[in-house]
Amino acid sequence: MTDNKPTVAFLGLGLMGVRQARRLIEAGWPLVLWNRSREKAEALAPLGARIAASAAEAAAEADIVITMLENGPIVEAVVFGQGVAEAMRPGTVLIDMSSIKPAEAQDHAARLAERGVSYLDAPVSGGTVGAEQGTLAIMVGGDEAVFTRVAAVFAPMGRATLVGPHGSGQLAKLANQIIVGVTIGAVAEALMLAARGGADPAKVREALRGGFAESRVLDLHGARMVERDFTTRGRSVTHLKDIDNALDAAGRLGLAAMPFTAATADLFRGLLANAGDLDHSGLLVELERRNPAN
C-alpha cells in the first residue's frame, strides 16, 4: 500500500496502456507492470513501477488487476491461459479495459466469480490523446458495489460511468465505435464531394463548424483529412475489430439490419487491404480509391 492506495497490476502497455499506466503512477498508485515486450514495461521503471517477470506474478501481488490488451482472444489467453486467474486472491478485482465482445466479458465475469474474483468490463474512448491527458470516457459494466469500491482507480485515467451489468461496458464501447466510424465515413464523403466539385475542403470544414454537422470527428478527423495526415492515432485494424464485434453482438441480439455499421466495416476492410493500417481518418483514402478521377 502507498498512501492507503491498493497495489495495481497493469497488464498490457500498448499505445493506450502505457499512457494509462503513467497516469496511475503519477497519481501515486503503486503499480506492478507486465507486458509481452518487457522493454515497454521497463521504460516506466524509473517512475517507480515494479516490473514483473510474468502476468501471473504481477497479478499475485495486486489488489486490483487492470488488463489493456488487443482483443478478446488475447485477454482469454493472458487471464486464463497464463495463470492470472489462478494467481489472483479472492477479493481481488479484475478490470478489463480492453475492447472485447460483450459475450466474452460476461463469460470472463462468470468464470472469475467462481474463484471469488470480482470483474468489471471497462473499455475506453478518447484515443492516445485522452489517455495522455487523463480524459478518457470509461464505460463500465458490472456490479455497482464493486464499481464503487474501485472508482478511485479510474479517476487518473478519465471519467468512468457505470452503464449496466457485466458486458454493458462493452456494448457502450461498441455503440461509441459505431457512431465514430460512421461519422468518420460521413465526414470523409462530405469533404471528398466538396473537393471534387472545386470547393476548398479546409474552408468547407471551417464553414460547417458550429452548425448541426459539428462534432469532434469533424474537428479532429476532418482536420487530419484536410491535412492528409494519416499518422496512426486510432488504428483502423482495431476499429474494424470493434465494428465486427458490434455486428456480432447485433446478430446475437436479433438485430438483422445494421446497414451503416456494415457499410463502415466494408470501408475499413477495403482501407486495410489497399492502404494498410492508417489512422481511421484514412477512410477518406479508401473512398477516393473507390471514386477515381475521370
Domain residue limits, the chain: 8-165, 171-290
Backbone angles phi, psi at 114, to 5 degrees: -65, -20
How large is the average pLDDT for residues 5-14?
96
CATH topology of domain 8-165: Rossmann fold (3.40.50)
Q: Where are the alpha helices (DSSP H) in the chain?
A: 17-26, 38-42, 55-60, 72-81, 84-87, 102-113, 127-133, 144-154, 168-196, 201-208, 216, 222-227, 236-252, 259-274, 283-290
Q: At 81, is the pLDDT very low, low, confident or very high (cuts 50, 70, 90)?
A: very high
The DSSP element (H or E) to which 94 belongs, if any, is strand 93-96
CA dist 38 and 73 (Å) reads: 21
Question: What percent of the chain is modeled with pLDDT above 90?
Answer: 95
Which three cell numbers mark 287?
473512398
Confidence category of residue 276, pLDDT binned at 50, 70, 90: very high
Residues 6+ apart with CB under 8 A from 103: 167, 248, 249, 252
User: Rounded mean pLDDT of the chain?
Assistant: 96
pLDDT (0 to 100) of residue 3: 61
Is a pLDDT exceeding 60 seen at residue 2? no
**Phi and psi, residue 123, nearest 5°:** -65, 165
Cell 478527423, residue located? 221
Q: Are 70 and 100 in contact (CB under 8 A)?
A: no
Biggest CA-to-CA distance, the chain: 67
Q: Is 101 a catalytic residue?
A: no
Q: Is the pLDDT of residue 294 over 80?
A: no
Classify 209 as helix, strand or coil. Answer: coil
**Geometric angle at alpha carbon 269, from 265 and 275, rounded to 5°:** 135
Taking only the tens place, the pLDDT of each residue in 40-52 is 999 999 999 999 9
* 214-234 pLDDT per residue, tens: 999 999 999 999 999 999 888
Grid cell 453482438 — which residue? Answer: 249
Instruction: Give per-residue pLDDT as tens, 230-274.
Output: 998 889 999 999 999 999 999 999 999 999 999 999 999 999 999
Residue type, 190: A
pLDDT at 113 over 60: yes
Residue 87 near residue 60, CB atoms below 8 Å: yes
Task: Assign domain 171-290 to a CATH class.
Answer: mainly alpha
Weakest mean pLDDT among 27-31, 114-118, 137-141, 232-236? 232-236
Radius of gyration of the chain (CA): 20
Task: Say yes or no to pLDDT of 128 above 90.
Answer: no
Element of type H or E holding 124: strand 124-125
Which residues contact residue 97 at a Cβ distance below 8 angstroms, ignoring those fewer than 6 apart? 20, 66, 67, 68, 122, 123, 124, 138
Which member of 5, 40, 101, 173 is catalytic?
173
Lowest mean pLDDT among 56-60, 129-133, 160-164, 230-234: 230-234
Q: pLDDT, tens digit, for every residue of 60-79?
A: 999 999 999 999 999 999 99
Q: What's this model's pTM, rounded to 2 decimal places?
A: 0.91
Q: What is the pLDDT of residue 60?
A: 97
